[in-house]
Structure 1
Amino acid sequence: MEVRLKEAPCGFISFDHSGYINEVNNTFLEWMGYKQENLVGKHIESFLTMTNKLIFHSYFYPNINLHGYVEELFINFTNHTGESIPYLMNAKRFRQDGNEVIDCSLVQMKKRIDYELELRSTKKQMEEAYLEKNRALAKLEQIYLEIEKKQIELMEINSGLVKISNTDKLTGISNRRFFQKKLEEQIVIYRTVEKTFSLLIIDIDHFKKVNDTYGHQIGDIVLAKLANILKIQVRTDDIVARFGGEEFTIILPDTDFEEAILIAQKLNRTIELAEWTETGNLTVSIGLATFSENDTEDSIVKKADQALYVSKEKGRNRATHFRNL
């Protein structure tokens, strides 16, 4: 590794296709409190929490394998004391000496925390100014302007972080992280007021053939176009998200078994009849499940996935509800 890269003002990690680290620069080691021997040869996931491992499996690996790169992924690594440190990651895959490697640049997200601390300090100064009447008016006005400025800056940072962490970059719709959050919210609503909901998992039929025949660029166009169709077709309160790869999910609030089937069948017809100039035609298979008293977050997803498998087995381009298995 070149000296400039070792001491670059951003972190750098390189690992192989299996996830084992082979290079790390001094900047990242200093930030995390590690030495070379603590990281080199270790698996990248050994420094991730369970939540961040899920992000890696649902977002990082599918995108790096499909596109060869990942941009602006908000991720947390565990340092030598066990503290979770936030980073913004960019990654790219390429071949080096006949071997496939994945290089990642990492930028610390400490600025947001610094702004919060600065805001607290400014508010404290404001409280002290109120107690000291002889300094009050002029100083209070100045501090108030500073607080407004810091609040605006903090809101902009928070808004950017939320958008990055909740949006799928390719399709522009919600990602799996946001889907998990909304699924948890629907379960709380069900437990509180007994409003049932249904879940759809949608998978593009023969999508590998699309990529193999027309290339990944056309595959990306198809994914974005399907996402747009789903956004247009769903109701105002429905939640559409990219689940990973060529799979999408839709949460249907306040929707029972019968209504969910009608919605799914309508999606099948709409997608089949849409103009797919890139591929000639396109269909999807759908698995459905409706939340019940004994269900959990994992079980409702598993039921919909099992129903999706049956739709595939029965010839594709159809919707199957778990209740009908």
Structure 2
Amino acid sequence: MHTGKKILLVEDSRFITAVVGDYLKKNGFEIDSVATGEDAVEIVCGHSAWDLILMDIELAGEMNGIEAAKIINNHKELPIIFLTANASDTIINQIRNISAYGFIEKGMDNTALLATIEMALKLHDVKSEIKQKESILNAVINSVQDGMIMTDDKGYVSLWNPAAVQLFGYTKDEMLGKELHELTAAESMNKNDIINSLFADKKVKELKIKHKNGQVFDAEISTSTLKINDKDYFVGIFRDISDRIKAREELEKLSVTDYLTNTYNRRFFVTRLEEEIERSKRTGRVFSIAMLDIDRFKTINDKYGHSIGDLVLQSITGYIKKRIRKVDCLARWGGEEFMILLADTPIINSGVLLEDLRLGISKIEIPNVDRFTGSFGVVEYAPGDTADMMIQKADSMMYEAKKCGRNCIKYMM
């Protein structure tokens, strides 16, 4: 339980507000809600104290959630998680650019929502603790604790503080008068590319940096320029954000992963399928998808309990993941149904693998549990097919397999 933690829910749907609000209250959170970005900015930037904001992107009023979050971030450092029905690349990039703590797609299960909130609160607590410690340390030693570096417009270092020594591993004597671009781990970037990147209009950026020992880490760089005697200089404040990047990647992974089976979720599979269709249009190379349904799974749950049912699903997906290639994709479609995308694999070439999967599933042993089987429906991409069409075809073939006695594979040729 999260007694005392306060969440502001910014959502203009009364239904979603009620459902999400009630669920979070049951888990110990204090919840208040508003329907517009304007109201969110007013209440948060006032004197009210919040631990986290759960923000819809499309809101009533003139201001959307992303615009409201930008204003709030300029006034207060609060973890903001977005609710969205549109998880396009454009939306995700906008979320990243305002230092949000991730997003949850509307319609995902409550467990994923709770896990994302808990991770965001923990990450925010860690960041707050780090910031407090940095402030104390700054006051004690009266110096900058992030790496501070200054170069001329040619990229030659003229200032290198003690924190930079710790961050990069190079001593001051090793770096003064040397070229900063030698530090970068982006081997594809030449000297001019790096200098132009550092002097770009964007004042805060992320780069891959190489330590003296060769280890590569993620750094955030806050940049500014100044002019001395008509000569331009670059000033950069560098900090290691490896932990932040790791947490962000974990949040992103959570948003596309089924929590029980650790396979991809339905939303990710549809996106991947649409990408594969576009790739096939460009290259002419076909692929196949298969829908798998675990036979009589309800009987397993009724006879042994849901914990054993979960173990069955985990055992099956664990087996399949070991058999398919990295370029393929396994996703939980819902309940006991799964989708498999076989990249660059015509339906005629899919039979050996799928038959192996069918047999392998039937041979999985769980102590004191009856054997179980699966039924497959397989379809190959045809010009003009959409993602929905392919999924419907695979679903139809899977039901044909069910009608034929289960534990078999049906192909749409």
Cα distance between partner residues in 2 of 1:50 and 1:212: 34
Is the Cα–Cα contact under 8 Å of residues 239 and 250 in structure 1 kept in the other structure? yes
Is the Cα–Cα contact under 8 Å of residues 84 and 105 in structure 2 kept in the other structure? no
Cα distance between partner residues in 2 of 1:315 and 1:206: 11
Larger RCO: Structure 1 or Structure 2 (Cα < 8 Å, ≥ 6 residues apart)? 1
Written as runs of structure 1 = structure 2, the 5 A alignment for 1:185-200 is 185-200=275-290
Is the Cα–Cα contact under 8 Å of residues 288 and 343 in structure 2 kept in the other structure? yes
Aligned in 2, Cα 1:191/1:25: closer, same or farther, shift over 3 Å? same
Give the TM-score normalised by structure 2: 0.53
What's the counterpart of residue 239 of structure 1? 329
SS at match of 2:405: coil
SS at match of 1:243: strand
What's the counterpart of residue 85 of structure 2? 50
Deviations 1:164-221 (A, max 9, x none): 1232221122222332232223122201111110001111111111111111111111
What's the counterpart of residue 138 of structure 1? 160
What's the counterpart of residue 180 of structure 1? 270
Cα distance between partner residues in 1 of 2:151 and 2:36: 37
Bigger helix fraction: 1
Q: Shift of residue 261 of structure 1?
A: 3.1
Aligned in 2, Cα 1:72/1:256: closer, same or farther, shift over 3 Å? same
What's the counterpart of residue 166 of structure 1? 256
What's the counterpart of residue 96 of structure 1? none
Which residue identity is paired with 2:269?
F
- Residues 1:10 and 2:7 are matched in the alignment: yes
Which residue identity is paired with 2:152?
Y
Written as runs of structure 1 = structure 2, the 5 A alignment for 1:183-262 is 183-262=273-352
Q: Shift of residue 300 of structure 1?
A: 1.1
Which residue identity is paired with 1:163?
K
Deviations 1:136-155 (A, max 9, x none): 32359749949453442442
Is the Cα–Cα contact under 8 Å of residues 165 and 177 in structure 1 kept in the other structure? no
Deviations 1:38-68 (A, max 9, x none): xxxxxx9x9754346x9554x41xxx6xxxx
Cα distance between partner residues in 1 of 2:288 and 2:398: 14
- Residues 1:272 and 2:307 are matched in the alignment: no
SS at match of 1:136: strand
What's the counterpart of residue 385 of structure 2? 295
Q: Shift of residue 20 of structure 1?
A: 8.2
Cα distance between partner residues in 2 of 1:253 and 1:285: 21
Aligned in 2, Cα 1:73/1:258: closer, same or farther, shift over 3 Å? farther
Written as runs of structure 1 = structure 2, the 5 A alignment for 1:104-123 is none
What's the counterpart of residue 404 of structure 2? 314
Q: Shift of residue 159 of structure 1?
A: 2.0
Aligned in 2, Cα 1:89/1:180: closer, same or farther, shift over 3 Å? farther
Which residue identity is paired with 2:158?
A
Cα distance between partner residues in 1 of 2:337 and 2:347: 21
Q: Shift of residue 8 of structure 1?
A: 2.9
Give the TM-score normalised by structure 1: 0.65
Aligned in 2, Cα 1:261/1:156: closer, same or farther, shift over 3 Å? same
Written as runs of structure 1 = structure 2, the 5 A alignment for 1:37-76 is 49-51=84-86, 55-57=105-107, 59-60=108-109, 70-71=111-112
Aligned in 2, Cα 1:20/1:170: closer, same or farther, shift over 3 Å? closer
SS at match of 2:410: strand
What's the counterpart of residue 227 of structure 2? none
Cα distance between partner residues in 2 of 1:270 and 1:132: 62
Segments of structure 1 that go 5 or more residues without pairing to the other structure are: 36-43, 65-69, 75-87, 91-104, 115-122
What's the counterpart of residue 283 of structure 1? 373
Is the Cα–Cα contact under 8 Å of residues 202 and 287 in structure 1 kept in the other structure? yes
Cα distance between partner residues in 2 of 1:19 and 1:152: 36
Q: Shift of residue 235 of structure 1?
A: 3.1
SS at match of 1:10: strand
Cα distance between partner residues in 2 of 1:216 and 1:12: 33
Divergent runs of 4+, >6 A: 12-16, 108-111
Is the Cα–Cα contact under 8 Å of residues 9 and 34 in structure 2 kept in the other structure? no
Deviations 1:227-278 (A, max 9, x none): 1111122234322222221111111011112122332222222211222435
Count matched residues: 267
Segments of structure 2 that go 5 or more residues without pairing to the other structure are: 41-55, 60-82, 88-103, 129-145, 169-218, 220-237
Larger CA deviation: 145-154 vs 24-33: 24-33
Q: Work out the percentage of aligned pairs sharing the same amino acid.
A: 27
